[in-house]
Amino acid sequence: SQTIHQWPATLVQPVGSPLSLECTVEGTSNPNLYWYRQAAGRGLQLLFYSVGIGQISSEVPQNLSASRPQDRQFILSSKKLLLSDSGFYLCAWSGGLAGGTDTQYFGPGTRLTVL
């Protein structure tokens, strides 16, 4: 069966510090991968998605970046964190099925607090 891991589970970082969040998927190959952010009390916002190694699409302009160095590894980074980067970061994967039936499976999330 497939599993998705995210770490760390929680993180407290000062403003201006760098960030690296990691997501890995097991039990599947060539998944679509996604990064979402959920601010406190708000809905989920898609940040990045990837359909293959080295292929990253950004949905919103921000000081974050994403990379996919391996098939089942997705990394979210920032060079300098802002207060507004605080939130719950979720990684997800899907099989990339066409036709509107694709299902996404989410990781446990990383709760980031920027002070």
Closest approach of other proteins to the CB of residue 114, in Å? 19
Q: Which CB sits closer to other proteins, 65 or 105?
A: 105
Give the residues lining the site for other proteins (CB under 8 A).
32, 34, 43-46, 49, 59, 90, 92, 94, 96-109, 111
By CB atoms closer than 10 A (0-12, 13-18, 19+), residue 61 is exposed
Closest approach of other proteins to the CB of residue 97, in Å? 8
Q: How far apart are CA 100 and CA 27, in angstroms?
A: 23
Q: Which CB sits closer to other proteins, 16 or 108?
A: 108
The structure tokens 């099925």 sit at 97
Q: Which CB sits closer to other proteins, 19 or 90?
A: 90
